[in-house]
Structure 1
């Protein structure tokens, strides 16, 4: 059966106290909406529709970044959850399959849970996702009769016996598309909010003799994010889960609670991650590497056997080949570092290609920006770049070439050549002592005047 994914993302989120639409607030460096989108994408849906209202253009742009094929539908007036789903009626008019309704501010519903709902749909017209709540509070209650969902009762309308029920409604729903839109068409606004509630689908389906059931998931999956406090809680939940997953996959986290991961971080087994390492988006680390303490990685690829850090920064476009060494206070940006090459101390390598087995001395900088344009530096295999070398791009250093420490290289260096680009040293005898005496007298005078 074909699947269409409908994600409701039209709310403003006033409790966020933000100009940013609620569903675009990030969890693990991705908008919470994208987490919901990813869970649904695991089902290989034929159609994906996102219903947006507040901040429509921003939501549309974010969705396009992650899935250009997804369609964003406008809900100009927010008249309830059923009204939001109904905005997709025309877009799904020719669709023959099941529709799953998710929420853009509920990012943790897993693909495994959605698979359970699909399995239950084989014998039911409508499937609702529920959870056993530790504190049911004012959640809507799912009233079950065996495997059958009899009704959803909102807290305000529930009897004492119904309020004692701890099986609660998440809002997530699955139904055949035609059935779902037929039922939505019959929903009325006879409630305190005068809105069209998607939960009314259950009662209408039962009235027509259709079978309805509920599938249970862990309560943490159904967490809705409505405030900055919720956002912080969601971040903590994601990080804890992601760290546990890495540990299970054979990654060593020496101090797990200090390591921050992104929604798409990939790390191979037998890698060691030391404390206080931050992984931004789009990072892949192959097996058998070591990421040392206080390093920051984003948009980069680290190959097997490499060592990064401590206090290193890998920026977007950094590509490290096998057995590379990137050391303390080194920054790599948009640069390919060849196998076995070492950049160990206090250097900046940007917009560059480095060959295999090359050594970059401390304090080396590729001067890649002229104030308007970026320029490329190429360094060959087994080259040796002396400490405090400035490589003024565009420039090429050949295989097995060498630069003298303190050189400013503005011209290409041929293969196997030694490049020296610094002025001759001049020693002025006795001048240092005289200068020190002069400076000390000046300091004493300033101290005296200050008193």
Structure 2
């Protein structure tokens, strides 16, 4: 099977410099959703017909299984499909999809392909109360005979509520002949792909129809309002799937999934959370309100307090994170690690049972187990040109307001006094501190504000 995806529309109503098919739905381009579905069908080859902003579309989504066909002029859907003819096989089924119709389910398309059979034609239609703007399905004795576009329809034809979605499946050898016979003698002056239905009937081919389980599977995007509506529909569907899988969502209407979210048993997610990329939540994980979690694995029993931002991190079992904590890429936490409020960790490994509960920055560090990091501690990992690592061995106690100037090592069991600026290695099991001698300047007075 070959799939042709029409993605050449400029999308003027989007009022955006970004091509329409690159507008984001759930954090990914509209066209990416269509490509995923086409690949899930097991297509041998996919052809994408591009036009406006085509180079940007190719740069964003090019892949070995894609063939690209350029539609230099926008002369209608029939003309668009014709641009893909050099990539089509001589025979075999061809499925026509649209780059701005992202939510059609694989099961719906599989049924359509089955209806088409080995030598037939199948059309995806839908019944809607207000068919304004859609091509109407004209039947005689119950059989499809043609499609008439809104601007070319008679009053009686405009009353028809069964409409064309544009999605169809037919045989490549027939498609080639029909496209060659298309005319633009219509109100729009375009080559309508829908005209091939009447040609198929004239050639004695019965046009089968199939309908999706939900109307939203056929909805396209023409402006930002429609995009926003489709986003909420999609997020509602994703939330419903999580609920059916046993995930507790405090409010299913207030979650955003922009990638793949995999949850174990007894996971609980509070309101306002955003999940991006590949995110895994283990059994019993609880995520507090208003967290943003991107490309992160969180092990069983971990608690993510509200307002945390996690990216490219690995959180261990029973860890406590936040509130207001940030884990940046390269963070690897073992079990029972506490990262508290306004603490940031980057490219660091922290072993089991260690804590950094307040107002600290731990970057490019290897931290052992049972380490206590006091409030205000900073690993000074950057000299303005190069990054260096800090090593803190097991059972170290670091006093508040400490700066560790990398590269530096703190030996096992060492204690660093509060206010220390460590520039040399601290020996194991000893107290190390560096403070200026405390002075009291008698009679010193604060500056007074001068009167104007």
Paired positions, count = 427
The answer on whether the counterparts of 1:13 and 1:21 sit within 8 Å (CA) in structure 2 is yes
- Aligned to 1:366, what secondary structure does the other structure show? strand
Tell me which residue corresponds to 2:217.
Answer: 221
Cα root mean square deviation, aligned: 2.1
Q: Encode CA deviations 1:372-429: one digit per residue, 9 max, x unaligned.
A: xxxx321123322222211223111123333222221121123333344344365555
For 1:63 and 1:305, locate their aligned partners in 2 and report how far apart those are by CA, in whole Å. Answer: 37
Tell me which residue corresponds to 2:229.
Answer: 233
Q: Which has the higher helix share?
A: 1
Tell me which residue corresponds to 2:139.
Answer: 144
Displacement of 1:100 in angstroms is 1.0
Displacement of 1:210 in angstroms is 1.0
- Aligned to 1:107, what secondary structure does the other structure show? coil
The answer on whether the counterparts of 1:148 and 1:214 sit within 8 Å (CA) in structure 2 is no
Aligned counterparts, 1:201-220, within 5 A: 201-217=196-212, 218-220=214-216
Displacement of 1:160 in angstroms is 3.0
Tell me which residue corresponds to 2:345.
Answer: 349
1:84 aligned residue (80, 99, 103): 80
Tell me which residue corresponds to 1:371.
Answer: none
The answer on whether the counterparts of 1:294 and 1:309 sit within 8 Å (CA) in structure 2 is no
Tell me which residue corresponds to 2:373.
Answer: 385
Tell me which residue corresponds to 1:43.
Answer: 41
1:322 aligned residue (317, 321, 339): 317
Q: Encode CA deviations 1:231-259: one digit per residue, 9 max, x unaligned.
A: 11111111211111111111111122222
For 1:184 and 1:361, locate their aligned partners in 2 and report how far apart those are by CA, in whole Å. Answer: 68
Aligned counterparts, 1:6-405, within 5 A: 6-64=4-62, 67-93=63-89, 96-122=91-117, 125-145=120-140, 148-217=143-212, 218-315=214-311, 317-334=312-329, 335-367=331-363, 376-393=364-381, 394-405=389-400
The answer on whether the counterparts of 1:251 and 1:271 sit within 8 Å (CA) in structure 2 is yes
TM-score normalized with structure 2 length: 0.88
Displacement of 1:366 in angstroms is 2.1
- Pair 1:417 & 2:414 matched: yes
The answer on whether the counterparts of 1:149 and 1:213 sit within 8 Å (CA) in structure 2 is yes
Instruction: Identify if the C-alpha distance between structure 1 residues 403 and 238 changes in structure 2 by more than 3 Å, giving closer, same or farther.
Output: same
For 1:5 and 1:162, locate their aligned partners in 2 and report how far apart those are by CA, in whole Å. Answer: 31
The answer on whether the counterparts of 1:225 and 1:231 sit within 8 Å (CA) in structure 2 is yes
- Aligned to 2:233, what secondary structure does the other structure show? helix
TM-score normalized with structure 1 length: 0.89
Displacement of 1:25 in angstroms is 0.7
Gaps of 5+ in 1: 368-375
For 1:247 and 1:198, locate their aligned partners in 2 and report how far apart those are by CA, in whole Å. Answer: 41
- Aligned to 1:36, what secondary structure does the other structure show? helix
Displacement of 1:157 in angstroms is 2.6
The answer on whether the counterparts of 2:93 and 2:118 sit within 8 Å (CA) in structure 1 is no
Instruction: Identify if the C-alpha distance between structure 1 residues 287 and 72 changes in structure 2 by more than 3 Å, giving closer, same or farther.
Output: farther
